[in-house]
C-alpha cells in the first residue's frame, strides 16, 4: 500500500478514533503475516505534548503524531495506539507523567517530550524503565551528551539554530544595536548563550537580558531595547505568548526594533509580529508532496494543522517503525524499540529529507530555516 493510500484510509477512520487512540484499518489477526508485507503488531506509543486548544503549536504536535500513526497503521497492518500525556514546559508534571507511562507495560516508546526542560526532567525516568523517547522539538545541546541513554531527537540542536540566527543578523540585518533576551529555563539559557557566542565570532557587540516564563511586565527589557528597525532584539523564549506580550509592550512604548525569534515562536497563531524573523527546524511542508497530502486530508478534522510542527510526524514514524521492527508474536517491546531506533532511516519523510540518527542519537544533518512574518503567513528568507 502506498503512503498516499494509507493517508486516505487513515483519514476515513481518524474522526471516530481521535481521542481514544489510533487503531489499524487493516483486518489482520495478531501474529498473522500477509503477502503484501503487512502484519499485525500491537502496542502503545505515548506522546508527551500539550493537548490544549486547537491551533497552538503543541496541540498541533500531538495532532501530527496522530496523523502519522493512523497512516502508519493503515500502511503496515499494525494496530498501534496513542497514549496522550498532556505536558508542556512543566518539569514536575513531566516527572509524574513519565512515571505513569513507565508503569504501563503496554507502552513501548515515547514521542516527546517537546521541551528541553521536560526532557531533562522525564528522561531519567524513561531511561530507568527502558523506554526510548524521540523528541520532535527539544533542542538543548546537552540533552545528547550521553547522560540520557535512550534520548533521540529528529530536530537540529540549539547550536545549529544559534548559528543560523547569528548568520542572519550578521549578513542580512546590519544591526546598530543587539539585545538578546533569554528565558530562565533550559531552552532560553542554552540558545541565548550560543547566539551570543556566534555574534562574538562575528565581532558584533550586544547586550543581554533575562526574563521568567509568564512574566507580565517587561519594562526593564523595553528600556534596554533600541527603538528603530536598525536595532535588533533577539527572543530566546520558550513561550510564544510571552514573546508576543513583550513585542506588544515594545510597540506601546513607541519602539519598533527588528525582532528575531527562536523556533518556539514559529507559530503564527500565538506569535504574529509582522516583520519579525523566526527560526524553524522544518521547511513549510505544505509545499512538499507528503506534507501537502496530510494537510488536505486532516484540515477538516483538526483545523490548522500547523505545517511547521511536522517534525512530530517524523518522530512518530521513527518510533512506530522501530516498534514494528521489534514485533514478535504480534507484540512490540520496549527493548526492541530501543535496540532498533539507532538504525532507523526514514526516506522519504514528510519534511522532504531523510531522517537518521548519529552515534549521539542526534538527527543527521539537522538544519534550520529562517522565515519572515508577513501578515498571516511566512516567507522563507534563509
The CATH number of whichever domain residue 238 belongs to comes to 3.40.50.2300
CB–CB of 199/236 below 8 Å? no
- Is pLDDT at 275 greater than 90 in this prediction? yes
Per residue in 176-224, pLDDT (tens digit) is 999 999 999 989 999 999 999 999 999 999 999 999 999 999 999 999 9
My answer on whether 291 and 151 are in the same domain is: yes
The model's confidence at residue 308, banded by pLDDT at 50, 70 and 90, is: low
Over residues 246-256, the mean pLDDT reads 98
pLDDT given for residue 98 in this prediction: 99
Per residue in 320-350, pLDDT (tens digit) is 999 999 999 999 999 999 999 999 999 988 8
The model's confidence at residue 60, banded by pLDDT at 50, 70 and 90, is: confident
Per residue in 187-198, pLDDT (tens digit) is 999 999 999 999
- Is pLDDT at 33 greater than 70 in this prediction? no
pLDDT given for residue 31 in this prediction: 44
The model's confidence at residue 287, banded by pLDDT at 50, 70 and 90, is: confident
- Is pLDDT at 68 greater than 80 in this prediction? yes
Sequence-distant (≥ 6) Cβ neighbours of residue 203 within 8 angstroms: none
CB–CB of 194/139 below 8 Å? no
My answer on whether 182 and 150 are in the same domain is: no
Among 87-91, 106-110, 173-177, the minimum mean pLDDT is found in 87-91
My answer on whether 202 and 348 are in the same domain is: no
HEC profile of 89-142: CCHHHHHHHHHHHHCCCCEEEEECCCCHHHHHHHHHHHHHHCCCEEECCCCCHH
CB–CB of 188/237 below 8 Å? yes
My answer on whether 247 and 296 are in the same domain is: no
- Is pLDDT at 299 greater than 70 in this prediction? no
Over residues 135-150, the mean pLDDT reads 96
Residue 75 forms part of a structural domain:
yes
Check residue 329 and give left, alpha or beta (phi > 0: left; psi -120 to 50: alpha).
Answer: left
My answer on whether 45 and 81 are in the same domain is: yes
- Is pLDDT at 18 greater than 60 in this prediction? no
Residues in the chain: 382
My answer on whether 135 and 168 are in the same domain is: no
CB–CB of 95/122 below 8 Å? yes
pTM, to two decimals: 0.85
Mean pLDDT over each residue of the chain, to the nearest integer: 88
Distance of CA 327 to the CA centre of its chain: 27
More confident residue, 266 or 43: 43
pLDDT given for residue 54 in this prediction: 44
My answer on whether 324 and 224 are in the same domain is: no
Residue 74 forms part of a structural domain:
yes
Among 9-13, 227-231, 248-252, 362-366, the minimum mean pLDDT is found in 9-13
Residue 97 forms part of a structural domain:
yes
The number of distinct structural domains making up the chain is: 2
Over residues 274-289, the mean pLDDT reads 86
Residue 302 structural domain: 3-156+284-356
Amino acid at each position: 500500500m502506498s503512503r498516499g493510500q494509507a493517508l486516505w484510509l487513515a483519514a476515513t477512520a481518524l474522526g471516530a478514533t481521535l481521542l481514544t487512540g489510533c487503531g489499524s484499518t487493516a483486518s489482520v489477526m495478531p501474529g498473522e503475516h500477509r503477502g503484501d508485507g503487512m502484519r499485525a503488531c500491537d502496542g502503545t506509543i505515548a506522546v508527551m505534548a500539550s493537548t490544549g486548544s486547537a491551533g497552538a503549536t503543541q496541540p498541533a504536535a500531538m495532532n501530527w503524531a496522530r496523523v502519522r500513526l493512523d497512516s502508519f497503521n493503515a500502511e503496515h497492518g499494525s494496530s498501534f495506539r496513542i497514549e496522550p500525556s498532556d505536558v508542556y514546559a512543566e518539569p514536575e508534571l513531566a516527572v509524574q507523567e513519565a512515571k505513569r507511562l513507565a508503569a504501563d507495560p503496554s507502552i513501548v516508546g515515547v514521542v516527546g517530550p517537546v521541551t528541553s526542560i521536560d526532557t531533562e526532567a522525564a528522561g531519567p525516568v524513561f531511561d530507568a524503565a527502558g523506554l526510548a523517547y524521540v523528541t520532535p522539538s527539544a533542542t538543548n545541546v546537552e540533552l545528547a551528551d550521553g547522560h540520557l541513554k535512550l534520548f533521540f531527537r529528529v530536530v537540529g540542536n540549539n547550536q545549529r539554530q544559534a548559528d543560523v540566527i547569528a548568520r542572519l543578523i550578521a549578513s542580512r540585518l546590519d544591526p546598530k544595536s543587539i539585545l538578546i533576551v533569554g528565558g530562565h529555563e533550559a531552552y532560553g539559557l542554552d540558545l541565548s548563550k550560543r547566539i551570543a557566542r556566534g555574534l562574538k565570532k562575528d565581532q558584533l557587540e550586544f547586550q543581554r537580558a533575562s526574563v521568567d516564563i509568564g512574566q507580565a511586565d517587561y519594562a526593564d527589557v523595553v528600556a534596554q531595547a533600541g527603538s528603530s528597525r536598525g536595532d535588533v532584539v533577539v527572543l530566546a523564549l520558550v513561550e510564544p505568548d510571552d514573546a508576543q506580550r513583550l513585542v506588544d509592550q515594545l510597540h506601546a512604548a513607541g519602539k519598533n526594533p527588528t525582532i528575531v525569534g527562536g523556533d518556539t515562536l514559529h507559530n503564527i497563531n500565538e506569535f504574529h509580529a509582522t516583520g519579525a524573523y523566526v527560526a524553524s527546524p522544518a521547511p513549510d511542508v505544505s509545499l512538499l508532496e507528503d506534507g501537502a497530502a496530510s494537510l488536505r486530508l486532516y484540515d477538516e478534522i483538526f483545523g490548522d494543522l500547523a505545517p511547521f510542527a511536522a517534525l512530530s510526524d517524523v518522530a512518530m514514524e521513527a518510533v512506530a517503525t522501530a516498534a514494528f521492527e521489534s514485533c514478535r508474536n504480534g507484540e512490540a517491546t520496549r527493548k526492541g524499540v530501543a535496540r532498533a531506533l539507532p538504525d532507523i532511516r526514514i526516506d522519504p519523510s514528510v519534511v522532504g529529507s531523510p531522517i537518521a540518527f548519529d552515534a549521539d542519537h542526534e538527527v543527521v544533518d539537522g538544519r534550520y530555516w529562517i522565515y519572515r512574518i508577513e501578515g498571516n503567513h511566512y516567507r522563507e528568507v534563509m
